[in-house]
Amino acid sequence: MLDAPPANRDRAEWIAIAVLGSIAKDPSRLEQFLNVTGIAPRAVRSLADDPRFLAGVVDYVADEPALAAIIVSELSLHPADLSMAQYALRRPKIAEPSANVVRLPIPPRRVK
């Protein structure tokens, strides 16, 4: 199974944070989110750095089609962006290659 490319992971994190912001700006949405998830309001800010929490935020919205449609519209996203974010946030984060790594060329195989 392939890991999500870093660019998709970065976009997925951006989408999840934007979705969380959209939930947080509406008191009734925020209250419903906190009630369903059981998360304390004070914990949301510290959890926002956790990809598993961000994946859960996207899952929460994706599981509510009416809410998903509203938030996708508010954020000018494509509906498939939610699915991409769900997938990318569940993949291990790929470390950026170090500038100090020397990549040796692989010699061609000799055919006998």
Q: Which amino acid is residue 70, in one-letter code?
A: I
Tell the residue number behind the tokens 């800010």, with chain if given: 45
86-110 pLDDT, tens digit each: 999 987 665 555 555 555 666 666 6
Residue 50: name the closest of 11, 5, 89, 24 by CA.
89
The model's pLDDT over 21-61, given as tens digits with 9 standing for 90+, comes to 999 999 999 999 999 999 998 898 889 888 889 999 999 99
Task: Give the residue extent of every domain in the chain.
Answer: 6-90
- Judge contact between 61 and 67, C-beta under 8 A: yes
pLDDT value, residue 90: 85
